Amino acid sequence: MNTITTPPNTAPGSVHSLDLGISGMTCASCVGRVERALRKVPGVQEASVNLATESARIAFVTQVGADAAAMEAVLRRAVRNAGYEPRAAGQEDVAEDLSPWAGFMPVGIGLLLSAPLVLPMIGDLFGQHWMLPAWVQFVLATPVQFILGARFYKAGWHAAKALSGNMDLLVALGTSAGWGLSMWLWLTAPTDHPGHVPHLYFEASAVVVTLVLLGKWLEARAKRQTTAAIRALHALRPDVVHLLTKSGEVDVPVAEVLVGDQLVVRPGERIPVDGTVHEGHTQVDESMLTGEPLPVARDVGAALTGGSINGDGRIVMAVTAVGAETVLAQIIRLVEDAQAAKAPIQRLVDQVSAIFVPVVLVVALVTLAGWLAMGAGLEAALIHAVAVMVIACPCALGLATPAAIMAGTGVAAKHGILIKDVQALELAHKVDTVAFDKTGTLTVGQPRLTAFEVVPGLDDSAVMAAVAAVQSGSEHPLARAVVAAAGERQIHVATAQDVRAVPGRGTEGEVDGQSYLVGSLRWMQELGVGLGPLSDRAEALQREGATVSVVAQRVTEGLALRAVMAFGDEPKPGAREALAALKARGIRTVMVSGDNRGAAEAMARRLGLDPAAGEVMAEVLPGDKAAKVAALQQGADGKHHHVAMVGDGVNDAPALAAADVGMAMGNGTDVAMHAAGITLMRGDPMLVAAALDISHRTVMKIRQNLFWAFAYNVAGIPLAALGYLNPVVAGAAMALSSVSVMANALLLKRWRM
C-alpha cells in the first residue's frame, strides 16, 4: 500500500508521512539498503522498512516549490534505483488473493526439472547408478539457473552496484559457481571414454535455486497469515449503505457518506460508519471492537461504532464520523503503525545485517583458499565455498522480529488490546509494578450522591439547586452525580455565571448574585473553611468509604460552610480478580487516587489492596500523578522498577506518558488513549494482565526467532566451511530457517486470554 498522511497545513515545510509498498526484498540486508536509499533523499527525516510487511514508512518535509505527490514520485524512484519495485496501492494483494497456490508455478516448474537430477543421488544410496547424460543434466538445470533464478541475478546485481550484499547475491554467486564448475568439468572431461559421465554439480545449483524459491513461497504464505488481523478489520467495512433521503432509501457507496446523513441499518447488517441511533432500538455486537461477545442494547441517542453488527432491530442512524475519523479506521491505523514500526531490539539486527553478507563472502573466499592450500583441488574447494554462501543467507534474521510483532499485535487486537507503540510491547514484559487510576478504571466511574447534609437552618433544596447550577457545565463524574441527583428531586437548576474550574480542587461560580465554591476537603482546608457542625458527619462518611466534598458561600466575613456532600462508587466487575491475577504473577499493584485517604483506603480494601503495604496513594492531585509514577520507578528499595500506568481520563495523560508502559481504557478520553502505548478497548481491568502476557509471549518469540536465526548461521557456516555440508543440504537448511521463524511466530495466533 502507499498512503500519504498530511497535517491540515500542507504548505512547504510541513511534515508528511508516506506508507509505500516495496517488492523484491529478500533479507535484512535488503531492508538496510532501501532505508539508506530513502534517507539520502533531501527532505526525508526518517525511513523505516519492514521486511515482513514488505513496506516502508517515510516521514518527510516537502521542499519549497514541491508538493507531497511530487515527493512521493522521488521516493518511489529512489526505491527503484536501489533495485526494488515500489508498489501501487493494493497491488500487493491482487496476485496472492487469487488462490492459495498463487505464485507456486515457478516453484512447481523448478521441482519438476530438479527431480530427475536428484533421483541419481537417491539411487546411489541403494547401489544403483542412474546418472543422467551430461547434456540432459545441462538441459534440465540451465532453465532453473537462468530463467527461474533470474530474480537472484537481477537483485544481486543491484546489490553489487550499491557496494552491498544480500541473500540474492549469495544465492546467485553460489549457484553460478556450481553451474560453472559443472560446465568446466563437462567440457574438459576426457574423450577417450565415450560412455563415462563425469561427476557434475548441475543438481546442486538447480536444487538450491528451487529450494530457495520454495522457501520464499512458504514464507509469503506465512506472511499473509500474520497480516490476517489487518485484512479482517478492513473486511468489517461494507461497500454499500442505505442512505435515507426525502424520496426513500437509496443505496450509495460508503465513500459518499457525509457527516449528518441518515442511514438505514437492517437487522444482521454491519454498521457502516460511526454515528448515533436516530430511530429504533436494537442489540449491537461490538466484539470486533471490544472482544466482548455479548451484544449491548442501543436506544435513541446511543453511540454506534462502524464495523459492529446490528442485531434484530431496524434502526436509522445519524452519521457523526466518516473515513479516517471513524473508530474502526483509527484502530486499523494503530495496528498498522505497530506492525510497521521497529522494535528497539531490531536495531541490533540491522547493525549485524549491514556487515553480514560482506563477512560471509570473505569467509567463502577463505574457505576456497584454505581447501586449495590443503591440496583438495579446485572442484572440492569451490563446492565447499558454495555451501558457505548458500547456508549463510540472512533471510530468517530479517524476519525474526517483525514476524513476531505482526502476529502478536494481530492476536492482541482480536481480543480488544490495541498496541500502537512497539516499544511499549517490548517493555511490557519487564513491568513489575502496575499503577491504577481509581475512578473509571478500577471503579465503574459513575458515582452517586449518597448524602447531602446542609448546615442546620438552611433549605437543602435551595442549596442543591445552587450547587447543581455551578456543576452543570462540568464533565467531572462527581459534578454529573450532583446534577443527576437534582434532576431526580425535580429541582429547577438555574444558569450559573462566571463559572471557573480550579484544577484538582473544585469549581466556583455565581448563582442569583451569590458566589459558591464546590470542591474537595483539601481545598476547603487551604481556604480556611471549617466544617463546624458537620465535622462529625463528614468524618463518619469518610470512614464508610465515601468521597466527601464541601459547599461554601462567599459572604461579607469571608467563606461560610453551606453543605457537605458524600459520593459513592462501585468497583468494576472483575476488578478484584484482575488485581489478584497481577499479584499472582509477582507484580506489585498500586491504586492512585485524588480522593481523601479514608475513601481511597476503603475502596482499596474492597479491591483486595493493602493500604498498610503502600498499595494506596491517596489525595493525589492530577498534576502530581506523573511524579507518583516517577517515584514508583525509583522505588523505595533503591532499585529501578518498570511501571505500567492504567488510566482513563484527561488528568491521567501525563502519568500515562511518564510510565514505562501507558495503558488507557477504551471507554476513557481520547487524550488518554493518545498518551498511552496500549489501549484496552473493553475497559476491563483483566485486560491489563492479558496485555502483559501477550507482550511476554511476543518478546519470547522474538528471542527464540533471533536465537534460531543466528544458530543456523553460527552452526551452519563452520560446518559448510569444513566440508560437512554440500550445497543441496545447505540450501534446504537456509529455506527451512525462514519457514521455521515464520511458523514459530504464527504460534502466537493460538494465544487466548
Q: Which residues have a catalytic role annotated?
A: 437
- DSSP strands (E only) in 588-648: 588-592, 616-617, 643-647
> Which ranges of 443-493 does DSSP label H, i.e. alpha helix?
460-471, 477-488
User: Which run of H or E residues covers position 118?
Assistant: helix 105-125
> How many residues comprise the chain?
753
Cα(422)–Cα(57) distance, rounded to whole angstroms?
Answer: 14
Q: Are 156 and 173 in contact (CB under 8 A)?
A: yes
> Which ranges of 241-311 does DSSP label H, i.e. alpha helix?
287-290
What does each C-alpha distance from 592 to 276, 479, 575 come to in angstroms? 34, 20, 15
Tabulate helix, strand, coil % of the chain (nearest 5): 50, 20, 30
Cα(271)–Cα(251) distance, rounded to whole angstroms?
Answer: 14
Nearest residue to 519 (alpha-carbon basis) of 531, 508, 506, 529: 506
Cα(500)–Cα(474) distance, rounded to whole angstroms?
Answer: 10
Copy the grid coordinates of residue 652.
491521567
User: Which run of H or E residues covers position 34?
Assistant: helix 28-39
**Dihedrals phi, psi of 298, to nearest 5 degrees:** -135, 115
- Print burial letters for 364-388: b (CB count within 10 Å at least 16), e (below 16): beebbeebeeeebeebebbbbbbbb
Q: At what angle do helices 395-414 and 686-721 cross, to 10 degrees?
A: 170
Which DSSP symbol is given to 557? T
Nearest residue to 222 (alpha-carbon basis) of 404, 22, 412, 94: 404
Q: Are 737 and 714 in contact (CB under 8 A)?
A: no
Q: Are 419 and 677 in contact (CB under 8 A)?
A: yes
DSSP 219-244: HHHHHHHHTHHHHHHHTTS-SEEEEE
DSSP 148-212: ITHHHHHHHHHHHHTT---HHHHHHHHHHHHHHHHHHHHHTS-SS-TT------HHHHHHHHHHH
Residue bearing cell 526525508: 44
Report the first-to-last Cα separation within the chain, whole angstroms: 32
What does each C-alpha distance from 465 to 44, 553, 559 come to in angstroms? 59, 13, 19
Q: Are 401 and 705 in contact (CB under 8 A)?
A: yes
**Dihedrals phi, psi of 243, to nearest 5 degrees:** -85, 130
Which DSSP symbol is given to 475? -
Residue bearing cell 471492537: 289
Q: Are 59 and 15 in contact (CB under 8 A)?
A: yes
Nearest residue to 174 (alpha-carbon basis) of 22, 353, 387: 387
Instruction: Name the strands in the sheet holding 616-617, side by side, starting at the edge strand that comes first in the sequence.
Output: 417-419, 678-680, 661-665, 643-647, 433-437, 588-592, 616-617
Sign for the CA dihedral angle at 90, 92, 93, 94 comes to: positive
The number of beta carbons lying within 10 Å of the beta carbon of residue 246 is 4
Q: Are 384 and 723 in contact (CB under 8 A)?
A: yes
